[in-house]
Amino acid sequence: MAPTKVAIIGSGNIGTDLMFKIIRGSGTLELAAMVGIDPASDGLARAARLGINAVSTGVDGLVEQPDFQDIDIVFDATSAGAHKYNAKVLVAAKPSIRLIDLTPAAIGPYCVPVVNLDEVLEASSINMVTCGGQATVPIVAAVSSVVDVVYAEIVASIASKSAGPGTRANIDEFTETTSRAIEKVGGADHGKAIIVLNPAEPPVMMRDTVFLLTPDADREKISRAVEEQVARVAAYVPGYRLKQDVQFDEIPADEPVNVPGVGAFSGLKISVFLEVEGAAHYLPAYAGNLDIMTSAALRTAEVVAEHVQNLEVTKA
C-alpha cells in the first residue's frame, strides 16, 4: 500500500523532531507538509531544504494547499489553546481527517500506545497526553494490572533547554492532563503530576519518578510487570529505561500517612525511577521529553494509518 500522507502543525522543537523521525524511519507515513506561523523558524527552513512543503501561514494556509485533501493524518505540535482552533479548521475542511494531538488540549481520548492504543483507533482526534504521561502512565498501568493503585504521583524533571515555548505555555495543562491520564489510562484511583524544568548545566536527561500507594501485594509480580512494561515502551523509545530496581516500603497501620484525596493510608509504597534518553534526531540526547512524545505519536499514527488502510481494503 502507498504511504499515508501526513502533515505536522508546529515547527518548533517537537514538530521538527517528529519531522526527522517520519522522514528517516517510517515506511508507513509520508510527510506532505510542515506548518508553522514563523517564516524564519528553523523547523520550516529545514523542511524546505528537505523538499517538504513548508507552510508559514498556519492551519489556515495548510487547508488552502492544493494537495490538502490527500492528507489523511495531521499531527498538532503547537499548544493546547492553538489546537482547539486548529482542530475546528481541519475538521471543517476535511471531516474524515485524523488528528494526533501532541498538546495537552485533550479534545480526544488519551493514548499511551502500550496501554490503550487499540481502544482509540476509531477516534478522529487522539491525544498523546504529555511527555511525563507517556513516561509514567505505562508504569501505573503495569502496577494496576497486579494490584489496586490507591494513589499515584509522578514527578517529571526535564532539562530547561529542552522546553520550548509550547511546553512552557502548557505547564498548567501538563499537570492537569497528566493527572487525569494517570487515573483514566493508568488505572489509579487518584493521580497527581508535577513537572520540574531543571536549569542545570550541562543539561540533564529526562528523569521521571513514580510513587504509588497500594494494598500489600506480591512484590515480585509487581517488579516483573514493571520491567516487562519498560521493555514494551523501549521497543519504540530505545532510550527509555529503569534507573534501578523497583523499590518497596511498607507503611504500617499504626503509623498511617495522610494522602490528598485519600486520607489516612497504610499499606505498600512503591517507587519507580526512570530515565529517558533522546535519540538526538534534532535536539541533543538530554531532550528525552521530546523523544518520548514524538516516538509515541509516530507509533500511534502508523498503527492508525494501517488500521484505516485495512478497513478500506475490507470495504473494497
Q: Which residues are catalytic?
A: 131
Q: Is residue 13 marked as binding?
A: yes
Rg (CA), the chain: 20
Q: Binding residue per annotation — 166?
A: yes
Question: Is 163 annotated as a binding-site member?
Answer: yes
Is 154 annotated in some ligand binding site? Answer: no
Sequence-separated (6 or more) residues with CB below 8 Å from residue 18: 8, 75, 77, 102, 294, 297, 298
Q: Check whether 193 is labelled as a binding-site residue.
A: no
Q: Cis before residue 202, ω within 30 degrees of 0?
A: yes
Alpha carbons 174 and 130: distance in angstroms, whole number: 6
Query: Which cell goes with 144?
Result: 494496576
- Residue 103, marked binder: no
Q: Does residue 178 have a known ligand-binding role?
A: no
124 is in an annotated binding site: no
Q: State yes or no: 169 annotated in a binding site.
A: yes
Element (H, E) at 208: strand 206-214
Q: What angle do CA 187, 188, 192 make, to 5 degrees?
A: 130
Taking CB atoms within 8 Å and a gap of at least 24, the contacts of 300-303 are 300/100, 300/111, 300/113, 300/117, 300/126, 300/128, 301/4, 301/6, 301/28, 301/29, 301/73, 301/75, 301/100, 302/26, 302/28, 302/29, 303/113, 303/117, 303/121
Q: C-alpha 49: how far from its chain's center?
A: 28
Q: Is 209 annotated as a binding residue?
A: no
- 11 is known to lie in a ligand binding site: yes
Reduce the DSSP state of residue 80 to 3 states and report it.
Answer: helix
Q: How far apart are CA 235 and CA 295, in angstroms?
A: 10
User: Binding residue per annotation — 167?
Assistant: yes
289 in a labelled binding site: yes
**86 is known to lie in a ligand binding site:** no
Query: Alpha helix locations (H) across the chain?
Result: 13-25, 42-49, 58-63, 80-93, 113-116, 131-144, 165-169, 171-184, 219-234, 288-315
> Binding site for NAD(+), residues?
11-14, 162-170, 289
Residues in binding site: 11-14, 162-170, 289
